[in-house]
């Protein structure tokens, strides 16, 4: 009877098992829960380990192309995981291996594990530190936006920016903000913004919210690296509360929504107008103070000039009076002396009277002529000094100063107002200018 029983070779048996196992759809997509054991990282990049529970275990392998999924979870011996994969049967040894194409920590989302690990790595590198943050420009000329080309985010950003600061230029770099290749596209648009032909003062990265998975592109390293290396200050406006993406931490400033990012990137134009009004008021007060100080200086100068002129005029008049008096005395004395000489000559020289008279007369005429020349020269010199003094008086004459555009301000009692303090409790002032007087009523602030 034994001859009628089919006997298989080992290889034939293994072929049979392999074909049945690997062709059965029940073994092509299986999820297994268990504890990590015998974890080994092969130099080829593949990872080998076992999944076990209290009653059994199975050998597993995760090929190099999917190994990052396990590495990102930072699993160790004893970690409870759920692996997804299919059965592989190795014919030469008859060994069954579970080929893993996905792995998750039991009870914890894979993305949460990756997020936590990446957060700690970037924090230890100082990517979140304040000293690495670039300041946001208060008055930007050009703002760049990286977000989806359509949707609420771009509309809210442009509307908010133009409402608050209409003079700014906006440049949009449309990007995919969700999906498998979205992180690469976002990173590419950040680079384009940094290399843009026009220098951007601020760059906003925005998205109008979404689920944790929808926002995952903003946690990928290619996006985070471009944000950290950006020469342009970046404001994140991902729009998802209470979760915060890693882009929010790396960005120079984080805003909760695209609208908030638009507000943070621009000043309020209405506040700028108020600021300018205040500056103009301050400038006006300084001008008024300067005018008042100059008026006080001119008034003091006028007093000093007037006093100096009066003193000089008095001294010149005194000098002229003394000179006139001295000249008269000289003439009187000279004539008296000459008369005495004539009398003496008349007495002593009767015989030669006509000759001596003629001789003395000639001397007298010459002396008188020399005296007249000397007197004329001295009078001309004094006349020149008087003319120079007259010109100086005219130069400092208040009317002459008024012709230059200055004015004299007096109160109703005709007293000169020399300081802005003198204007307190005064409603009417008299302003004297070169062509007349004018009464003005002060406007109280």
d(CA 72, CA 158): 38
Please identify, among 249, 267, 285, the residue that sits at the C-terminal boundary of a domain. 267
Instruction: For 23-50, give one letter per residue: b (16+ CB within 10 A) or e.
Output: eeeebeeeeeebbbeebeeeeeeebebb
- The answer to whether residue 191 is domain-embedded is yes
Residues 215 and 121 occupy one common structural domain: yes
- The answer to whether residue 52 is domain-embedded is yes
Nearest to 429 by CA among 419, 421, 415: 415
Burial class of residue 210 in the structure, from the number of CB atoms within 10 Å of its CB (0-12 exposed, 13-18 middle, 19+ buried):
middle
pLDDT at res. 7? 84
- The answer to whether residue 242 is domain-embedded is yes
Please identify, among 90, 108, 126, the residue that sits at the C-terminal boundary of a domain. 108
Domain of 86, CATH number, reads 2.40.50.140
Residues 141 and 198 occupy one common structural domain: yes
Q: Which two tokens stand for residue 369?
A: 């002529």
Beta strands in 216-282 (DSSP E): 234-237, 253-254
pTM of the predicted structure, to 2 decimals? 0.47
- The answer to whether residue 15 is domain-embedded is yes
- The answer to whether residue 137 is domain-embedded is yes
Residue ranges making up the domain that contains 338: 273-392
Residues 144 and 221 occupy one common structural domain: yes
pLDDT at res. 1? 47
pLDDT, tens digit, 9 for 90 and up, residues 87-107: 888 889 889 899 999 988 876
Residues 317 and 360 occupy one common structural domain: yes
Nearest to 183 by CA among 153, 215, 218, 144: 218
Nearest to 78 by CA among 122, 34, 127: 34
pLDDT at res. 363? 80
pLDDT at res. 221? 95
Residues 296 and 374 occupy one common structural domain: yes
d(CA 73, CA 102): 11
Encode the chain (445 residues) as per-residue pLDDT tens digits.
456 678 888 888 888 888 888 887 777 889 998 888 899 999 999 999 999 887 888 999 999 998 988 888 778 887 888 999 998 888 898 898 999 999 888 765 567 778 888 999 999 999 999 999 999 999 999 999 999 998 888 999 999 999 999 999 999 999 999 888 899 999 999 999 999 999 999 999 998 877 777 888 999 999 999 999 999 999 999 866 666 899 999 999 999 889 999 999 999 888 777 777 777 777 777 878 788 788 787 777 777 877 777 777 777 777 777 777 788 787 778 777 877 776 776 666 555 656 666 676 788 778 878 878 888 888 888 888 888 887 777 777 777 777 778 888 888 888 888 888 777 778 788 888 878 888 888 876 6
Residues 78 and 129 occupy one common structural domain: no
Report the alpha-carbon angle 95-98-102, nearest 5. Answer: 165
Residues 410 and 382 occupy one common structural domain: no
Q: Cis peptide leading into 377, omega within 30 of 0? A: no
Residues 132 and 250 occupy one common structural domain: yes
Domain of 191, CATH number, reads 3.40.50.261
Residues 81 and 164 occupy one common structural domain: no
d(CA 245, CA 216): 8
- The answer to whether residue 370 is domain-embedded is yes
Number of folded domains in the chain? 4
Task: Render 185-221 in DSSP notation, one character per residue.
Answer: HHHHHHHHHHT-SS--SEEEEE-----TTTTGGGGSH
pLDDT at res. 378? 84
Residues 119 and 209 occupy one common structural domain: yes
- The answer to whether residue 96 is domain-embedded is yes
- The answer to whether residue 246 is domain-embedded is yes
What three-state secondary structure class fits 378? helix
Residues 94 and 130 occupy one common structural domain: no
- Side by side, the strands of the sheet bearing 428-433 are 408-410, 428-433, 436-441
Please identify, among 84, 108, 132, the residue that sits at the C-terminal boundary of a domain. 108
Rounded to the nearest 10°, the torsion over CA 209, 210, 216, 221 is -10
Residues 388 and 406 occupy one common structural domain: no
């Amino acid at each position: 009877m034994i001859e009628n029983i089919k006997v298989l070779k080992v290889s034939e048996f293994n072929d049979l098992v392999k074909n049945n196992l690997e062709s059965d759809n029940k073994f092509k997509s299986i999820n297994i829960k268990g504890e990590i054991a015998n974890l080994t990282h092969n130099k080829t990049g593949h990872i080998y380990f076992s999944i076990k529970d209290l009653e059994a275990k199975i050998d597993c392998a995760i090929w190099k192309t999917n190994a990052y999924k396990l590495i990102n979870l930072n699993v160790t011996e004893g970690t409870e995981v759920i692996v997804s994969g299919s059965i592989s049967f190795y014919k030469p040894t008859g060994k069954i291996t579970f080929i893993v194409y996905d792995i998750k920590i039991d009870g914890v989302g894979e993305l949460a594990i990756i997020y936590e690990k990446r957060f700690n790595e970037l924090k230890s590198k100082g990517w979140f530190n304040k000293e690495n943050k670039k300041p946001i420009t208060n008055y930007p000329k050009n703002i760049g936006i990286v977000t989806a080309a359509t949707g609420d985010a771009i509309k809210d950003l442009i509307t908010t920016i133009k409402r608050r600061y209409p003079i700014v230029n906006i440049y949009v770099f449309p990007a995919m903000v969700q999906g498998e290749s979205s992180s690469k596209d976002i990173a590419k648009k950040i680079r384009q913004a940094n290399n843009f032909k026009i220098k951007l003062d601020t760059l906003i990265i925005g998205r109008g919210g979404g689920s944790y998975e929808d926002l995952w592109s903003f946690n990928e390293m290619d996006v985070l690296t471009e944000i950290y290396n950006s020469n342009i200050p970046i404001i994140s406006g991902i729009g998802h509360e209470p979760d915060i993406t890693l882009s929010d931490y790396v960005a120079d400033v984080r805003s909760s929504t695209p609208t908030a990012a638009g507000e943070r990137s621009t000043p309020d134009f209405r506040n700028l107008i108020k600021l300018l009004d205040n500056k103009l008021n301050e400038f006006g007060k300084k001008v008024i103070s300067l005018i008042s100080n100059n008026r006080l200086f001119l008034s003091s100068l006028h007093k000093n000039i007037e006093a100096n002129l009066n003193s000089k005029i008095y001294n010149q008049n005194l000098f002229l009076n003394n000179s006139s008096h001295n000249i008269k005395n000289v003439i009187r004395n000279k004539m008296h002396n000459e008369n005495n000489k004539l009398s003496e000559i008349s007495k002593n020289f009767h015989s030669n009277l006509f000759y001596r008279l003629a001789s003395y007369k000639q001397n007298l005429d010459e002396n008188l002529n020399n005296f007249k020349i000397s007197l004329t020269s001295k009078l001309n010199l004094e006349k020149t000094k008087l003319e120079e003094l007259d010109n100086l008086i005219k130069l400092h004459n208040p009317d002459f100063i008024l012709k230059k555009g200055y004015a004299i301000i007096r109160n109703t009692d005709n007293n000169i107002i020399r300081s802005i303090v003198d204007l307190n409790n005064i409603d009417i002032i008299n302003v004297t200018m070169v062509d007349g007087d004018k009464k003005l009523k002060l406007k109280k602030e």
